[in-house]
Amino acid sequence: MNITRINSPCFSKRTRKLSKIKFLVIHYTGMQSKRVSIKRLISKKHKVSCHYLIDRSGKIIQMVDENKIAWHAGKSKWKNFINLNSSSLGIELVNRGHKWGYQSFSKDQINQLVRLSHKLKRKYKIKRSNILGHSDISPLRKNDPGEKFPWLKLQKKGLGIWYKIKKKYQVKKKLNNKKIRNEFFQNLHKFGYRYFSKKNPKKTDKLIVKSFQSRFRQGKISGSIDLECLKISENLARNTKI
């Protein structure tokens, strides 16, 4: 695999043990262009970086050594892990994102992401369920890589988790009942999501539902729980040990 190098100074000076690496976190750059993205990812002022950046032609650039903690995820939680920078590798995909004109990810970009992810998964024995999007671990702040990211395609390559439900469920009807709300969030909690209460509705619940939908029910990002979302969450909660 051909990987070029542009160094970013934005990483913690302390070297980590390689056995600390448990997650792959996928992002989009969300900037106007590749040039602007790289400029930001190497700027001392912005204090953000990643381990790898993949442009739209599939070219891979490494910015931080794998044994260093790159600053890509920020405040985040998944299962019992908090602030996942220290336990993850961050991969940025060049895409203008929701702010500047969200694009479909290119075939070359995704193919290279699959190759790179396989390599890292093998090297660090990363569980497929620990290959996540930024919005999974920071759902109140982030919506990358977004609803155009091909999670199903990745799952077919052994990366990340997908669900299996038998029939198509009616998605129109919202399920507002508190019991159903709590059931849905208990499933999400089992699967790994955080930043909500399992028992009491919160104002920010809508953001969690949106984040869930942008990954698992990409056709309709409504922010409200419907029967299909509930069924998907049930299925995911049963598949947490992979």
List residues binding Zn ion (CB under 5 A). Answer: 27, 134, 144
| DSSP element (H, E) containing 15 | strand 11-15
Can you tell me which residue has the tokens 């620990």? 130
Cβ pair 136, 213 in contact under 8 A: no
| CB nearer Zn ion, residue 78 or residue 184 | 78
Q: How far is the CB of 142 from Zn ion (least distance, A)?
A: 5
Catalytic residue among 92, 147, 183, 228: 92
| CB nearer Zn ion, residue 27 or residue 194 | 27
228 in active site: no
| CB nearer Zn ion, residue 93 or residue 225 | 93
One-letter amino acid at 39 equals K
Q: How far is the CB of 8 from Zn ion (least distance, A)?
A: 15
| Whole-angstrom distance, CA of residue 35 vs CA of residue 121 | 28
Cβ pair 62, 55 in contact under 8 A: no
| Whole-angstrom distance, CA of residue 213 vs CA of residue 220 | 7
Q: How far is the CB of 144 from Zn ion (least distance, A)?
A: 4
| Whole-angstrom distance, CA of residue 41 vs CA of residue 137 | 20
| CB nearer Zn ion, residue 144 or residue 226 | 144
- Residues assigned a catalytic role: 92
